[in-house]
A = this chain, B = another copy of it.
């Protein structure tokens, strides 16, 4: 098997012309598309409809070319879109393809991808042990499909889980961990991260439990990237790692950021790919870069290295929009690239107040 990873610009969520052109030109076989991860120009919060819009647009395009129904496309391909391209960030989407006929090269491990879906999750499941456990099962299934045996070879697990409108929450009330739509979204991200940590054994036995959700922030995954949206109704799971069962020139590496200005974390992720920025990734390196996935959050303490930040009490701009803009600017500066998937809401995804940087690139020859 051989994986490919291609980024496309997104002028608006109804315009996927760049991918259409690539399909028409024969560069991408739409039947080989196994996942799409993208950054849309919404606010990234509960009322962000750009995610659903792009999902609809892409499933129509792919269905048109494969002969599937759009529903079948959506059932087969996880579309994980995160809203919010604050500051210098650029709307885009990254297409993951798998060529199952490709022979395995003899050169060791190559980029490997697997996807899986949990059963449907109701509002009452969000943030609970059930979400943790079902997610862990889905991660293990996706690893199996990706033929990744060693959990240490999993470098990135992207999850998109359900969020709920006020109406859906009101209809379900009584059984929920929170009746606040935004809080429920955070609980879902947190439980999903615990599911990842449990699946790959990142945390001690018994730590990835409901009681620790949004409570013990020393328990975290270093590879989970979790988002939520009203446009999905289960946890969609994309596992990316390295496996000897795969061929191709791509590799993946990641590093945690200890806090929101830990620029060294970005350099550590680059080093994992044999790349270096001094202070910016030179053009040759930038051309090898296929995608960057960053999770980050406004520190709950209200401080970054002792100095107060205002993100948690700003009534005009949500904390997620603040932190995406800031960390996006920092990482874009190091990479010389603004088409990055920078996502807020990093509860239990990387160290508290910090985050995770994951990069996919062509190996140097």
Q: Which residues of A contact B (CB under 8 A)?
A: 9, 11-14, 41-50, 52-53, 56-57, 60, 85-92, 165-167, 169-170, 181-182, 230-231, 260-264, 266-267, 277, 279-280, 300-305, 307-318, 321-323, 325-330, 332-334, 336-339
By CB atoms of chain B within 10 A, which of A9, A60, A308 has the most? A308
| Contact partners of A48 in chain B: CB under 8 A | 315
| Contact partners of A47 in chain B: CB under 8 A | 41, 310, 313-316
- Interface residue from B57, B166, B323, B334 paired with A313 (Cβ < 8 Å): B166
Asked if B279 and A334 sit within 8 Å, CB to CB, the answer is yes
Task: For A299, give the chain B residue with the smallest CB separation.
Answer: B88
| Contact partners of A337 in chain B: CB under 8 A | 305, 307
Q: What are 10 A-B contacts defined by CB distance under 8 Å?
A: A13-B49, A14-B53, A88-B326, A89-B326, A166-B302, A166-B308, A263-B333, A315-B318, A325-B329, A330-B332
Asked if B261 and A338 sit within 8 Å, CB to CB, the answer is yes
Task: For A45, give the chain B residue with the smallest CB separation.
Answer: B315
Asked if A12 and B315 sit within 8 Å, CB to CB, the answer is no
Q: Known contacts A165-B302, A309-B338; decide if A260 and B170 are in contact (CB<8 Å).
A: no
- Rounded to whole angstroms, the CA-CA distance of A254 and B312 in the bound complex is 32
| Contact partners of A12 in chain B: CB under 8 A | 49, 52, 165, 230
Asked if A338 and B14 sit within 8 Å, CB to CB, the answer is no
Asked if A317 and B310 sit within 8 Å, CB to CB, the answer is no
- Rounded to whole angstroms, the CA-CA distance of A322 and B305 in the bound complex is 22
Q: Known contacts A49-B13, A302-B170; decide if A87 and B338 are in contact (CB<8 Å).
A: no
Which 7 A-B pairs rank lowest in CB-CB distance, beginning with the nearest?
A: A87-B326, A45-B315, A326-B329, A166-B302, A325-B325, A263-B333, A90-B307
| Contact partners of A167 in chain B: CB under 8 A | 11, 302-303, 308
Q: Known contacts A279-B279, A326-B326; decide if A309 and B85 are in contact (CB<8 Å).
A: yes
